[in-house]
């Protein structure tokens, strides 16, 4: 493959990746009801920090129209929410160029295949990382967790979980649920096969209560045991935000020294993860976190003054 051919290969690959992931991100955001947001950004550094005004406690008081006493002041304060930059990449993908010449096929075909598969893999990475962080953060907030491990997931346990939001329960837009728990629910009281969106093993459906079911076998939705414990997330709008930093970098190289000349391609990328009502703990979680650190609840301390202003609720089941 000449240098010009290698450029064409990369163009085919990155074009396939970009077009595929752009299309699926738009579909995913719409179908998830805006609870899991995937969007582009160009975050600089290891963290992205944003300040906002905290809810003022005791803002409204009862006044004695005939009184003369003093009134204690309340403070206007600001809170800071941090998102964390997560680094991802691929292993070297290896093939032998002569194989394509032997079959009279263009290596650009490999570029298209890699690009499409990479887009699906990166989207899965976005989803799994967001779910892992959300499960960790919400599970660390006992007030927003319903323990239904005495049985399988049921409509009753979902309603009990939604009740954790009190008069704000209608703000829950979707349930992130493992397929095993979803089948338990179907076998109980719910029957609905209306698929709104599907990409890879991610499916989004809607129940009869206006909340959508995002069905995915994300690893963080199950804790191994006897029996296994399943975690179902009830999320509000913009509960988890994944920001792609548009910094995909790849390298294609040719190497000698083996029976057949080999070619490898490898890529790197980053994205930022943020959770509503929770902030990344820079000192405890640190920079460039791994999956274990992202899935540790104490690395996502709650900063919202009210539980109802956080990402949502968690329902545990067998």
Task: Please tell me the predicted confidence (pLDDT) of residue 1.
Answer: 45
| Spatial contact of 206 and 191, defined as CB atoms under 8 Å apart | no
Task: Please tell me the predicted confidence (pLDDT) of residue 289.
Answer: 96
**Residue whose token pair is 């008081």:** 61
What is the count of structural domains for the chain? 1
User: Which residue range is the domain that position 203 belongs to?
Assistant: 3-56+77-317
Cα–Cα dist 82/260, whole Å: 49
Cα–Cα dist 298/309, whole Å: 18
Flag whether 263 is in a domain: yes
Flag whether 180 is in a domain: yes
Cα–Cα dist 220/5, whole Å: 42
Terminal Cα distance for the chain, rounded? 55
Task: Please tell me the predicted confidence (pLDDT) of residue 4.
Answer: 47
Flag whether 63 is in a domain: no
- Helix%, strand%, coil% for the chain, nearest 5: 35, 30, 35
| Spatial contact of 134 and 235, defined as CB atoms under 8 Å apart | yes
- Collapsed DSSP state (helix, strand, coil) of residue 27: helix
Residue of 134, 137, 131, 133 whose CA lies nearest to 289: 133
Strand bridging mode 222-223 / 195-199:
unpaired
Cα–Cα dist 61/200, whole Å: 54
Flag whether 292 is in a domain: yes
In sequence order, the 6+-apart residues with CB closer than 8 A to the CB of 73 are: none
Residue of 124, 123, 145 whose CA lies nearest to 134: 145
The mean pLDDT of the chain is 84
Flag whether 49 is in a domain: yes
Type and span of the H or E element at 21? helix 3-31
> Which residue ranges of the chain lie beneath pLDDT 70?
1-10, 12, 23, 51-55, 75-80, 101-105, 107, 189-209
Flag whether 64 is in a domain: no
Flag whether 200 is in a domain: yes
Flag whether 67 is in a domain: no
Task: Please tell me the predicted confidence (pLDDT) of residue 8.
Answer: 60
Q: Is the CA virtual torsion 184, 187, 192, 197 positive or negative?
A: positive
Task: Please tell me the predicted confidence (pLDDT) of residue 208.
Answer: 59
């Amino acid at each position: 493959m000449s240098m010009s051919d290698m450029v064409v290969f990369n163009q085919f690959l990155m074009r396939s990746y970009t077009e595929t992931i752009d299309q699926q991100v738009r579909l995913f955001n719409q179908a998830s009801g805006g609870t899991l947001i995937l969007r582009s950004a160009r975050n600089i550094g290891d963290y992205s920090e944003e300040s906002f005004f905290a809810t003022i406690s005791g803002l409204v008081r009862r006044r004695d129209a005939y009184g003369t006493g003093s009134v204690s002041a309340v403070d206007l304060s600001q809170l800071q929410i941090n998102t964390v930059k997560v680094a991802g990449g691929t292993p070297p993908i290896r093939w032998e160029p002569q194989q394509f010449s032997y079959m009279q096929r263009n290596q650009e075909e490999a570029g298209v295949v890699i690009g499409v598969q990479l887009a699906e893999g990166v989207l899965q990475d976005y989803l799994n990382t967001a779910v892992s962080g959300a499960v960790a953060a919400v599970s660390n907030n006992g007030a927003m967790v319903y323990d239904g491990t005495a049985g399988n997931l049921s409509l009753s346990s979902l309603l009990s979980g939604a009740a954790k939001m009190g008069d704000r329960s209608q703000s829950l837009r979707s349930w992130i649920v493992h397929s095993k728990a979803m089948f338990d629910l179907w076998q109980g009281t719910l029957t609905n096969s209306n698929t709104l969106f599907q990409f890879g093993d991610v499916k989004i459906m809607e129940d009869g209560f206006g909340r959508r079911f995002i069905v995915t076998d994300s690893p963080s939705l199950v804790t191994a045991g006897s029996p296994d414990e399943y975690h179902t997330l009830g999320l509000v709008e913009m509960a988890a935000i994944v920001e792609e930093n548009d910094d995909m970098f790849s390298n294609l190289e040719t190497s000698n020294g083996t029976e057949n000349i080999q070619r490898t391609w490898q890529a790197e990328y980053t994205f930022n993860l943020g959770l509503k009502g929770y902030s990344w703990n820079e000192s405890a979680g640190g920079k460039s976190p791994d999956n274990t650190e992202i899935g540790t609840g104490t690395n996502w301390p709650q900063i919202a003054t009210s539980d109802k202003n956080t990402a949502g609720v968690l329902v545990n089941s067998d």
